[in-house]
Amino acid sequence: MVNVLLLFHATLNFMKVKKSLGQNFLQSEEALAKIVEAGEISASDIVFEIGPGTGNLTKHLLQTAGQVIAIEKDEALFTSLLKKFKKEIESGRLVLISGDILEYDENNLPRDYKLVANIPYYITGLIIKKFLSANHQPKLAVLLVQKEVAERIVVKDSKESILSLSVKAYATPRMVGIVEAEHFKPVPKVDSAILKLSMVPNSFFKDKKDEKLFFEIIHRAFAHKRKILLNNFLPEEREKIIEFLKNKKYSGNIRAEKLKLEDWKKVIDLLRR
């Protein structure tokens, strides 16, 4: 790995960081190595990277993966990456794409790819939704995200949310480590966390109709978080939910945030009848 500080300062000489794109370049060698380690990457793996930026993580990935496919939206950064990784691109070990990840068709990716990326805070939810709900999912994802978001997903406070339940319906989340804000340039206002998502082999959903119903139900359940669970549903639905709560020996005043993923599966089965 080249000296990250020298690379960063050399890059900024001709390139202005674009706050609108949520650009915060990770400089910590230790954190970069930890991200790659969490990805369990081997020479047989194809890794998809979102927003390689100055190429710090890309270089680490190329040291281990068989092939890296990376998509970069910033045209100036894209041009810089073409020069920096000329040999790797010519050999086919790196495929560099110019484009917006939210517009990219993940079906273009090879089978059994892994997703590893330092993603912009402001589109974290959109990226997670895009790849977890896709027909062509990654077999594993390691994402550097805002620490608070990672904590909400793994439920450090024992309170579930639409976000945590949505992720757990597709994958098992785990926080691998914390990366302090000082390890980025520009320095963000908050710390980040390395979030590992191991895909669940057997889908939580029976089909797309079941998937749609799940999200409709949990959105209604969390529409008014301060209300007890029953008050977010219609009278005819409440009777079925009361039956479920009694069987589980839950309080009738329980809130949506206290129910776990498997609880929601049973609630949805009851409401479907």
Q: What is the pLDDT of residue 22?
A: 47
Which range of 7-11, 96-100, 186-190, 201-205 scores highest in mean pLDDT? It is 96-100
pLDDT, average across residues 175-186: 94
Average pLDDT, rounded, for the chain: 89
- The secondary structure of 159-190 as a DSSP string is ---HHHHHHHTTEEEEEEEEE-GGGEESPPSS
pLDDT of 131 reads 96
| Residue 21 clears pLDDT 60, i.e. is over it | no
177 pLDDT exceeds 60? yes
Q: Give the fold, CATH level 3, of 4-199.
A: Rossmann fold (3.40.50)
Over residues 221-236, the pLDDT tens digits come to 999 877 899 999 999 9
pLDDT at 23: 64
Label residue 204 by pLDDT band (50, 70, 90): confident
Structure tokens at 260: 């776990």
Q: Which fold has domain 208-272?
A: Helicase, Ruva Protein; domain 3 (1.10.8)
| Confidence band for 201, pLDDT divided at 50, 70 and 90 | confident
- What global pTM score does this model have? 0.87
pLDDT higher for 241 or 21?
241
Q: Which H/E stretch holds residue 211?
A: helix 208-221
**What ranges do the domains of the chain cover?**
4-199, 208-272
Cβ pair 150, 124 in contact under 8 A: no
Reading the block at residue 90, the tokens are 């010519």
Closest CA to 30 of 225, 169, 178: 178
Q: Output the CA torsion sign for 246, 250, 251, 252.
A: negative
